[in-house]
Amino acid sequence: MKKMVVTLMVLVMLFSLQSFAKDSKITNERFVLGAMSLCALNETLQGKETLDVFVLGDADVAEELKIFLDQRVGFIRLNSIKQGVELPKVKPDVLLVCDENQCKTAIDYCRENKVFSITNVSQLCLKGLSSAIVAKSPGRLQNKYSMTSVYAKINKEALFAEGMVFHPQVMDVAKPVEDNKYEKDLVMVQLY
């Protein structure tokens, strides 16, 4: 009887660990690092001399981003970081969308103004923002030091609508997202 209970507990733990492979809430630090990594992989942005970023809706993300100010992001220098609860009047190069309520207006703004959109809310990428930074917990733990990995979820249709292009190698290693409705347009790339 005791063996059966132990076996049952082990099986329950194993199955719960397998269902662990879904999006997790990402910290501001990891979101900002992932966002800057995506900017470094964006060929369109890398053709500029400087990079201007606007954070929509989260002052803490903007504060965390300041560690990159005047630093190189790929080949370009992060020139300015601004934050607000409304879309900016002066067009930035990158819009970090941290307010779900402004998703629709942010999508329209980015497409009209050719601004690269990045969000920390995975579902907003499905709605039309070009990319989301997500933490993924593995279905099976690879090693004791790495519980989660950071991925970029990329909506290829939205990326095109914003006038952005990634280095070809990025799309070569991209894997389709396991959602049959979006399998051609939505891909994921592990950042770190």
Evaluate if residue 95 carries a pLDDT over 60: yes
Distance separating alpha carbons of residues 191 and 171, to the nearest angstrom: 13
Residue-number span of the structural domain to which 28 is assigned: 22-190
Question: Count of CB atoms within 10 A of residue 142's CB?
Answer: 9
The 10s digit of each residue's pLDDT in 35-48 is: 999 999 999 999 99
Give domain status of residue 5, yes or no.
Answer: no
The CA radius of gyration of the chain, in Å to the nearest whole number, is 18
For position 136, what pLDDT does the model report? 75
The secondary structure of 18-57 as a DSSP string is: HTT-SEEPPPHHHHHHHHHHHHHHBHHHHTSSEEEEEEES
Distance separating alpha carbons of residues 76 and 129, to the nearest angstrom: 23
Q: What's the Cα-to-Cα distance from 39 to each of 125, 168, 172, rounded to whole Å?
A: 16, 14, 17
Give domain status of residue 1, yes or no.
Answer: no
Evaluate if residue 180 carries a pLDDT over 70: no
Distance separating alpha carbons of residues 160 and 99, to the nearest angstrom: 23
Tokens matching residue 110 = 């980015």
Distance separating alpha carbons of residues 85 and 147, to the nearest angstrom: 33
Give domain status of residue 10, yes or no.
Answer: no
**Backbone φ/ψ region at 163: left (φ over 0), alpha (ψ -120 to 50), beta:** left
Query: What does DSSP assign to residue 123?
Result: H
The 10s digit of each residue's pLDDT in 151-165 is: 999 999 999 999 999
171 and 187 Cβ atoms separated by less than 8 Å: yes
95 and 73 Cβ atoms separated by less than 8 Å: no
Residue 148, domain CATH: 3.40.50
For position 32, what pLDDT does the model report? 97
Confidence at 176, pLDDT banded by 50, 70, 90 = confident
Give domain status of residue 13, yes or no.
Answer: no
| Longest CA pairwise span in the chain (Å) | 70
Give domain status of residue 87, yes or no.
Answer: yes
For position 11, what pLDDT does the model report? 36
Confidence at 139, pLDDT banded by 50, 70, 90 = low
Higher-confidence residue of 172 and 78: namely: 78
Distance separating alpha carbons of residues 177 and 84, to the nearest angstrom: 31
Give domain status of residue 17, yes or no.
Answer: no
Tokens matching residue 73 = 């992001």
Confidence at 137, pLDDT banded by 50, 70, 90 = low
For the whole model, what pTM was predicted?
Answer: 0.82
For position 156, what pLDDT does the model report? 93
Evaluate if residue 86 carries a pLDDT over 70: yes
Give domain status of residue 7, yes or no.
Answer: no
Give domain status of residue 106, yes or no.
Answer: yes
Count the domains in the chain. Answer: 1
